[in-house]
């Protein structure tokens, strides 16, 4: 909550905030089974970061957005997320485990894909506004 402080006769706004989130990107390439749902990898990331794919906002560990693009037999997955810098490693570990099928998913959830490649990505200029919204969530 903002409050005002007097400094040398001038008042200035001071905001006390909690931890500051930063935006990060994680890229992966999956090989999907022919009839697999392209939304399933995003759901798996949400389970790993939030506990379930159907939850009330905000995301507790890392507000995120997952975008997928089919390229031949591969599914390119891009996860834009925001978290405190000290939590980045844990968030990436969870994303990696989810996309590799190693996360403990709800009964009946299967991972009809194989992780081919995964790595940190670079935030594009077109993603900056979305990243700012996630950082404030």
CATH of the domain at 103: 3.30.70
pLDDT at 104 over 50: yes
Model confidence at 7, pLDDT cuts 50, 70, 90, reads very low
Note whether residue 1 is domain-resident: no
Task: Give 5's pLDDT tier (boundaries 50, 70, 90).
Answer: very low
Instruction: Supply the pLDDT for residue 18.
Output: 62
Domain-located, residue 2: no
- pTM of the predicted structure, to 2 decimals: 0.81
- Report how far residue 4's alpha carbon sits from residue 109's, in angstroms, rounded to the nearest whole number: 52
Position 57 scores a pLDDT of 75
* pLDDT score recorded for residue 112: 84
- Domain annotation covers residue 11: no
The predicted structure's pLDDT at residue 52 = 72
Q: Which domain holds residue 52?
A: 26-136
Judge whether residue 1 has pLDDT over 80. Answer: no
Q: Looking at the domain assignment, is residue 16 inside a domain?
A: no
Cα separation, 131 vs 125, whole angstroms? 10
**Separation of CA 95 from chain center:** 8
- 112 CB-side CA count, 13 A: 12
pLDDT band at 62 (very low <50, low <70, confident <90, very high): very high
Residue 49 has pLDDT above 50, yes or no: yes
CA torsion angle for 112, 117, 123, 125 (degrees, to 10)? -80
If one compares 36 and 62, the residue with the highest pLDDT of the two is 62
The answer as to whether 40 is a domain residue is yes
Name which of 6-10, 79-83, 90-94 the model is least confident about: 6-10
Residue 97 falls inside a structural domain: yes
Confirm whether 132 is domain-assigned. Answer: yes
Q: Is residue 15 part of a domain?
A: no
Number of domains in the chain: 1
């Amino acid at each position: 909550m903002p409050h005002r402080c007097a400094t040398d006769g001038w008042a200035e706004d001071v905001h006390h905030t909690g931890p500051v989130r930063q935006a990060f990107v994680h890229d992966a390439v999956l090989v999907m089974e022919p009839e697999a749902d392209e939304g399933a990898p995003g759901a798996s990331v949400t389970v790993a970061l939030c506990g379930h794919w159907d939850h009330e906002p905000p995301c507790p560990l890392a507000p995120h957005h997952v975008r997928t693009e089919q390229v031949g037999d591969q599914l390119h997955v891009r996860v834009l997320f925001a978290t405190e810098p000290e939590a980045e490693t844990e968030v990436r570990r969870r994303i990696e485990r989810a996309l590799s099928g190693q996360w403990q998913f709800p009964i009946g959830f299967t991972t009809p894909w194989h992780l081919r490649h995964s790595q940190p990505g670079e935030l594009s200029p077109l993603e900056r506004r979305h990243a700012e919204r996630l950082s404030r969530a």
